[in-house]
Amino acid sequence: MRRVSIAALLLALAVSARGQESKPAEPALPQLTAQQDHKLMMDALGIKSLREGANGMNRNAPNAANYDEAKANPYPDLPDPLTLKNGDKVTTPEQWWSKRRPEIVEDFDREVYGRVPKDVPKVAWKVTSQTEDKAGDVAVITKKLSGRVDNTRCPEIKVEIQLTLTTPADAKGPVPVMLEFGFGFGGFGPRPGGPPGKGATPKGVGGFAAAGPSWQQQVLAKGWGYAIIVPNSIQADNGAGLTRGIIGLCNAGQPRKPEDWGALRAWAWGASRALDYFETDKAVDAKQVGIEGLSRYGKAALVTMAYDPRFAIGFIGSSGEGGAKLHRRNFGELVENLTGSGEYHWMAGNFLKYGGPLTPNDLPVDAHELIALCAPRPTFISYGASTGPGAEGQWVDQRGSFMAAVAAGPVFQLLGKKDLGTSEFPEVETGITGGELAFRQHKGGHTTGPNWPTFLAFADRYIKLGAAPQ
Ligand code: GCU
C-alpha cells in the first residue's frame, strides 16, 4: 500500500536523522505535512476512516451543520462528575480531590487533550526589554520576556516563549494580572456558521476596535496589570508543526504517540510557565492571575484553568467544540471537525478514535467535567449572540456550553460554591454572574470584547488589589 509505505519511509528518515547525533552536519529533521502526520496517527490507532465533520459554510451541503434543537441531543446522558468509576458516589470535597478529580484528569489526559511528558525541559525567562509608556492616561511599565526552553535534547528545535507584561507604573505593590492568549501576528479568516470575515486584528484580541476603553485599559483602570502570551511561540497551530515546538522538542522531532499532548495542552503548559515567571516578578501578585482567551484560545484558557489550580480566575471566550461545549451535542461544530486534519493537532491523537470508529458518546468525559475541574475557582463562560445583526453565529453552540456549565454545577456546590443557579438558557445580555460559575452572551460577534465589563465586575468579588504583601 502506497500510503503506508510513505509513512514508514518518513518514520525511517526521522529515526535515521536522530541516529546521527554525533555527526557535525546533521541532516534537517524531517518535516511532515498535517495530512501525513494525521495519517500516521490514524495508522497508529488502526483507524481506517473517520466520519466527516459538519459543514458550517454551506447550509445545503449533505453534512451541513445542524442548528435544529430538536436534533441536537442524540446522547443526552452525560457522565456523572460525582460518580467514581467503581460506581460509588462522591459526597465530600475530600473524595472529590483525592479520588474523582484525578480520575477525570486521567481521562482528559489520555483520551482528549493528551499528556504533558514527565520530563519537559526547563524554561529560562529573560526580560529582553523594559519600557515606560502610557496606556490611555495610565503610566505603565511594559516588560518583554522570552522564555527559552532548554533544547539540549534536540538542538535543531528552538522554543522561545514570547510574553509581554504591562503593569501600572505607580503600583504600590504587586498587582493582579489578566493573562491573555494573544493572536500574535494576523488573525483568522472567515469562520463557519458566523458572519464572514471576522478576522482578529493583531492588537485587538477580544477588543475588536469596539467603542470605549480597550480591555487592557479597563484592567489598568482597576490598578491591575495585563499580559499577553503568544501561543505560536509555544506550539504551532497546525498538524505540520507537531514535530516542532514544545511537543516536537519533547519527542526529539518525532511524530506524537496517541497519548501525547496536543496544542491546547501545550499552550496551557506555556501559560503555566508564564505563571512560574510571574511568581518571580515583584510587580505581579501571582496568587491573583487570571487567564483569558477567545475561540481556539478560549479552549486553551479553559484547559489552562482546569489543569493549573494556581490560576485564580478564568474568562473563557467563545470556546465551542473542544472547549466548554458538550461533545455529545449535535449542534454546530462537532467532534468530527476536531478529528479532521485541520484541527486534530489541538487534541491528543487518541481523540481521533471518537470521530470513527467510536462516537462522542464513548468519550469517558465531557466538557462539563472540564469546567468542573476549574471548581471552586471563579469561571466565566462568555459568548457572543447566536443570532441578530453582528452576532457570532451558532457554530460555537452557546446553548451546548451553557448545558455543560449547568452540569458542572454539582461540583461547585460540593466544594461550597454557588453554581449558575438555573438551568434555563438566558437571553442575550442577561448575565448569570451571582455564583462562582458565570455565563453571559453579549450582543456582538466572535470576541470577548463586550463581556469585559461584566467579567470585571464578577472578578471584583474575588480579585483584590493590595491583597499581596507589598
Ligand atoms: C474555527 C473552529 C473553532 C475555533 C475557531 C477559532 O471556527 O471550528 O473550533 O474555535 O475556528 O479559533 O477561531
Domain with residue 415: its CATH number is: 3.40.50.1820
Is the confidence at residue 19, as pLDDT, over 90?
no
- Mean pLDDT is lowest, of 88-97, 143-152, 329-338, 460-469, for 460-469
pLDDT number for residue 400: 98
- Residue 80 covered by a domain: no
Q: Ligand 1 test: best mutation among 183, 296, 336, most atoms within 8 Å of CB?
A: 296
28 band by pLDDT with thresholds 50, 70 and 90: confident
pLDDT number for residue 38: 98
CA 192–ligand 1 middle distance (angstroms): 8
Report yes or no: 155 and 23 within 8 Å, Cβ to Cβ.
Answer: no
Chain-centre distance of CA 425, in angstroms? Answer: 24
pLDDT number for residue 188: 44
Q: Measured between alpha carbons, how far is 302 from 312 in angstroms, rounded to an integer? A: 12
CA 227–ligand 1 middle distance (angstroms): 23
- Mean pLDDT is lowest, of 18-27, 45-54, 349-358, for 18-27
Report yes or no: 406 and 466 within 8 Å, Cβ to Cβ.
Answer: no
Q: Give the cell for residue 51.
A: 466520519
Mean pLDDT of 299-324: 98
411 band by pLDDT with thresholds 50, 70 and 90: very high
**Cβ atoms within 10 Å, residue 287:** 14
pLDDT number for residue 196: 36
- Mean pLDDT is lowest, of 180-194, 339-353, 361-375, 454-468, for 180-194
Q: How many domains does the chain have?
A: 1
122 band by pLDDT with thresholds 50, 70 and 90: very high
User: Is 192 near ligand 1, meaning CB less than 6 Å away?
Assistant: yes
- Mean pLDDT is lowest, of 69-73, 193-197, 264-268, 346-350, for 193-197
pLDDT number for residue 198: 37
Mean pLDDT of 220-233: 98
Give, using CA atoms, the residue closest to atom 7 of ligand 1: 191
Percentage with pLDDT > 90 across the chain: 86
- Residue 401 covered by a domain: yes
163 band by pLDDT with thresholds 50, 70 and 90: very high
The number of the ligand 1 atom at minimal distance from the alpha carbon of 338 is 9
Mean pLDDT of 328-349: 98
- Residue 33 covered by a domain: no
pLDDT, tens digit, for every residue of 30-56?
Answer: 899 999 999 999 999 999 999 999 999
Q: Measured between alpha carbons, how far is 451 from 443 in angstroms, rounded to an integer? A: 9
pLDDT number for residue 8: 54
Q: In 3D, which of 177, 292, 280 has the Cα closest to residue 223?
A: 177
- Residue 77 covered by a domain: no
Is the confidence at residue 461, as pLDDT, over 80?
yes
pLDDT number for residue 185: 41
- Residue 280 covered by a domain: yes
Is the confidence at residue 315, as pLDDT, over 70?
yes
Query: Containing domain of residue 255, as a range?
Result: 104-195+216-459
pLDDT, tens digit, for every residue of 297-311?
Answer: 999 999 999 999 999
Report yes or no: 126 and 162 within 8 Å, Cβ to Cβ.
Answer: no
Give, using CA atoms, the residue closest to atom 13 of ligand 1: 295
360 band by pLDDT with thresholds 50, 70 and 90: very high
User: Is 199 near ligand 1, meaning CB less than 6 Å away?
Assistant: no
Q: How far apart are the first and last CA of the chain?
A: 67
User: Is 295 near ligand 1, meaning CB less than 6 Å away?
Assistant: yes
- Put residue 136 in one of left, alpha, beta given phi > 0 → left and psi -120 to 50 → alpha: left
- Residue 415 covered by a domain: yes
- Mean pLDDT is lowest, of 7-21, 309-323, 334-348, for 7-21
- Mean pLDDT is lowest, of 201-210, 325-334, 390-399, 407-416, for 201-210
The order of strands in the sheet holding 437-442 is: 123-135, 138-149, 160-168, 225-229, 175-181, 284-294, 313-317, 379-384, 437-442
29 band by pLDDT with thresholds 50, 70 and 90: confident
pLDDT number for residue 103: 99
The number of the ligand 1 atom at minimal distance from the alpha carbon of 294 is 12
Mean pLDDT of 271-294: 98
Angle (CA) 377 378 383, round 5°: 135
Is the confidence at residue 421, as pLDDT, over 90?
yes
- Residue 34 covered by a domain: no
pLDDT number for residue 470: 74
CA 322–ligand 1 middle distance (angstroms): 10
CA 191–ligand 1 middle distance (angstroms): 7
pLDDT number for residue 212: 87
The Cβ-side half-sphere exposure at 279, using a 13 Å CA radius, reads: 9
- Residue 191 covered by a domain: yes
Average pLDDT over the chain, rounded to whole? 91
Is the confidence at residue 202, as pLDDT, over 80?
no
Percentage with pLDDT > 70 across the chain: 88
Is the confidence at residue 4, as pLDDT, over 50?
no
